[in-house]
Amino acid sequence: MNSPVWHPFTQHALEPAMRRIVETDGACLIDDGGARIFDAISSWWVITHGHRHPAIIAAIQAACDRYDQIIFAEYTHEPAEELAHGLLRIAPPGLAHVFYSDSGSTCVEVALKMALGFFHNCGTPRQRICVLEHSYHGDTIGTMSAGERGVFNAAYEPMLFGVDRLPFPQAGHEQDTLDAFERFCASGDVAALLIEPLILGAGGMLIYSQQVLSELKRIAERYGSLLIADEVMTGWGRTGSVFACEQAGVSPDILCTSKGLTGGALPLAATLCTAEIFQAHLSSDRRKTFFHSSSYTANPIACAAAVANLAVWENEPVRERIRELGSMQKRRLARFQADPRFRNVRQIGTITALDLTVPGAGYLADVGPKLRAFFRERQLLIRPLGNIIYMMPPYCVTAAELDCAYDAMDDAAACFMAGRL
């Protein structure tokens, strides 16, 4: 039967029939034929502790007995209040207020509006936004504008606004990035630097040093510009700490979080900001109101799931699991370090990535769909970014599950080199 469903990031003219998932369990998806599929990318980076973590599911069920959606203008509710206090306890110091939304794209869009609104309300308007080249921040208009221009957004170019792009801080060329940012800031018109801390996700799992991030923050402070940390992917332990900014000793002016906020169980996002930014919008002049909302702002059931996620972090050995997963990944990645079939073998925290050596690289590399099909036959959910193969599994993953994935990477490279892929 033909389906009327239009799937994301899917070219339906080329894709095989969608597999129907009937259940999730731990680090796996289970299809209607009973096959267990290892979810090696955490269902697009959202599942942290594992699918259907009992404490989070129980919190959702309990919240459903009391709530459905509640308008979040004029009213509040306990899950949202408890979550806000909990987020501020674990976030980098200096953040004081929490604004809820419902996806990674929207929480970054909120951050951009906060930054521009801050300077506008202070009577010193600034319009320029700086970003790193190769970055990806979402699929709304503002976040597409801030992301790398290319196949993702070429059709929508007339809708996008300009931003200032810094060269990616390649090892040995970090000063080029810092100098470029200082030049932009010297104009006096840079409102904010929007950055994925320590690793760029969809742009190719590109890793850069903690020192670069801390120096970018110092430059921003020197010129009175804001730093927005897009921790949508990097947050909740993926890089080894709860938030990646911690590793650089950086407290951003605005922090964006989603994906792992609820442990991946339900969509929810939050944008955290300093008291100074909130105060710039606090006025008897209603024109200074922060004009942003969505119908499902602070959905209480999603907030309850996020509160439960905070409790999991507090009551279970999550940090130990993350350290062990990082060690397991490192041991299995070692076999490829001197392998000529791969280059740029890299890891940060629980994330690993390596580039298959192919004539035509990049997101639209022909080898990408072939690799995905190969992994699919092995009951592995791995979606390479073109020729870049990466792993970002849930923290409950077993050694055996990792072994299957890394053996499949080895076999895929062998097949490709032999012309069988």
pLDDT of the residue at 1? 65
Establish whether domains 56-315 and 317-417 are of one fold: no
For the entire predicted model, the pTM comes to: 0.98
- Weakly modelled stretches of the chain, pLDDT under 70: 1
First to last CA, the chain: 30
pLDDT value of position 312: 98
For 158, which DSSP code?
Answer: G
Q: Which residues pair with 227 in a beta bridge?
A: 193
Q: Which residues of 88-110 are buried (b: 16+ CB within 10 A; e: fewer)?
A: beebbeebebbbbbbbbbbbbbb
Burial of 151 from C-beta contacts in 10 A (0-12 / 13-18 / 19+): exposed
Distances in Å between the Cα of 259 and the Cα atoms of 20, 51, 194, 223 are: 22, 13, 18, 32
Chain segment 95-112, per-residue pLDDT in tens: 999 999 999 999 999 999
pLDDT for 152 equals 87
Token pair, residue 149, equals: 């221009």
Task: Locate the domains of the chain by residue range.
Answer: 56-315, 317-417
Matching CATH number, 317-417, of 3.40.50.410, 3.90.1150.10, 3.40.190.10, 2.30.30.40: 3.90.1150.10
Architecture of domain 56-315: 3-Layer(aba) Sandwich (3.40)
For 311-362, list the strands marked E by DSSP: 342-348, 351-356
